[in-house]
Amino acid sequence: MKHFGIEVPVKNVPVLDPDFMPIGLFNRAFLAGAEKPVCFAVERDGGQVAVCRTFIHGTAEMAQADAYYADRLVKCMLWMKGGWKIYVSGDEGIFRMLQSAYSPEGSRAFDARFMSGVYEKPFEVVLCDQVPEEKGASQAVGRHLGGCRIGFDAGGSDRKVSAVIDGEPVFSEEVFWLPKVNPDPDYHYDGIVSALKAAAEKMPRVDAVGVSSAGIYIDNRTMVASLFLKVPEDLFEQKVKDIYVRAVRDTFGPDVPLVVCNDGDVSALAGAMGLGENQVLGIAMGTSEAVGYVDEKGNITGWLNELAFMPVDANPNAMMDEWSGDIGCGVKYFSQDGVIKLAPRAGIQLDESLSPAEKLKVVQKLMEEGSDAARKVYQSIGTYLGHTLAYYYELYNCKHVLLLGRVMSGKGGDLILEEALRVLAEEYPQYTGKLFPALPDEKSRRVGQSVAAASLPEV
């Protein structure tokens, strides 16, 4: 395969997507002839900085390839680590390209607007002689089991709550709700308070509350969350940004410790607690691709981990994500969108009147019935995954990968894992014995999401 004149050797290609070009292999081929040093840094909240020192070619004939590589690399840094300011050193042409891309009319305007909203700062791209030093602040949250705790898990179709005393759940409740379609923030607030009160009734007191919720949270505040998708912007500012803080304060007073974390991070924490291991990457393939990570110290990093928006495919004709307007990003490979994208290529006609979740169920049913067409869909996703897990390993240095979500259920999930392991063994033998992808077994499932959430605050 060739891209910008660079030969990218790929031994294993998805049966339904032969033009798939793994971004990690493209980067490797690109860097083979690159000698001009450049450096990028991304600044996020609290003065934290992520740094990447790399190389470009710096010649006129390779200018397009250099620009493409830099564009994909900086986008990867933004959606993995998060940030509101990009620093560039080493090449003024690359700086100008990125400054234009992240302008209000540029190709990455969506990314700039999104990050500006998350960090509540104007988005900037600056040229400098030397980028700032790397600075992180991973948090040792979770694994606190003492006392009387409440864990709340806010999902898109149900909410779960657990009352936990000294690490043992004494009460758990799961209630159906519809947060994503409700524009009234009081609906969400009342549901959260109802769950907290139900758990509190089962304990002599409440020492702490932990919350696992889809979205991006900074200092327990809701910055972006699909759960509140229909809430108008003015009401979001008034009633959603501090919704969990208000719910706990109004129910238990101002002195009960609260920690709110992204549900992907809490999934990874639950897996790490169950396995008794660290360096755990959790990937949930459902409506989107949700990711969380527990580092080598057992800490949550505070990174965005929004890998649904991170490029995984360097194919210039890859499918576009409708929301961000970019191509080749994880959501079209590791979610129900990936299944829906591949089904017609396998000859499976899906009724357009069905919802995405219903379309996924059609393909899952065919897989359970032994359909060869459905098998090709899941086999192709497994090939995508094998290549991408090698890339994620290089980024995260993860040891365990827990594969979760509706796409990974049933026979289809088994085949995805089987194919991913085959691709890893054949194409990336250097990671054998270092990277262990798996479906959750009883050992890693024994700590539920809401119970792990209960362990978040330190008392």
CB atoms under 10 Å from CB of 434, counted, come to 11
Q: How far apart are CA 453 and CA 382, in angstroms?
A: 30
User: Which of 225, 245, 266 is a domain's end point?
Assistant: 266
Span 242-269, mean pLDDT?
93
* Residues 295 and 360 both lie in one domain: yes
Residues 54 and 178 in one domain: no
Number of domains in the chain: 3
212: containing domain:
152-266
Q: What is the token pair recorded at 91?
A: 């090449």
Q: Mind listing the pLDDT tens digit for each residue in 19-59?
A: 999 999 999 999 998 999 999 999 998 899 999 999 999 99
Same domain for 165 and 230: yes
**Inter-residue contact 70 to 38 (CB < 8 Å):** yes
* pLDDT tens per residue, range 152-178: 999 877 899 999 999 899 999 989 888
**Domain finish residue from 221, 245, 266:** 266
Both 415 and 281 in one domain: the answer is yes
Whole-model pTM: value is: 0.89
Neighbours of 135 (CB within 10 A): 14
User: Based on the domain organization, do 69 and 200 belong to the same domain?
Assistant: no
The predicted pLDDT at position 447 comes to 58
Element (H, E) at 384: helix 372-396
* pLDDT at 443 > cutoff 70: no
For residue 456, tell me if it sits in a domain: no
Do 378 and 314 share a domain, yes or no? yes
Residue type, 51: V
CA distance 11 to 13: 7
Q: What is the pLDDT of residue 146?
A: 93
Q: Which of 241, 266, 291 is the last residue of a domain?
A: 266
User: Quick one: 346 and 248 in the same domain?
Assistant: no
In a domain? residue 289: yes
Task: Verify that 363 and 242 share a domain, yes or no.
Answer: no
Q: Do 433 and 286 sit in the same domain of this protein?
A: yes
Going by C-alpha positions, the residue among 250, 275, 136, 161 that lies closest to residue 213 is 161
133 in a structural domain: no
In a domain, residue 240? The reply is: yes
Assess whether 123 and 14 both reside in one domain.
yes
Q: For residue 231, what is the domain's CATH number? A: 3.30.420.40
Q: Are residues 315 and 399 in the same domain?
A: yes
337 and 418 together in one domain: yes
Mean pLDDT, the chain, integer? 93
Count of residues for the chain?
Answer: 459
Residue 444, pLDDT above cutoff 80: no
What span, in angstroms and rounded, lies between the C-alpha atoms of 67 and 139? 35
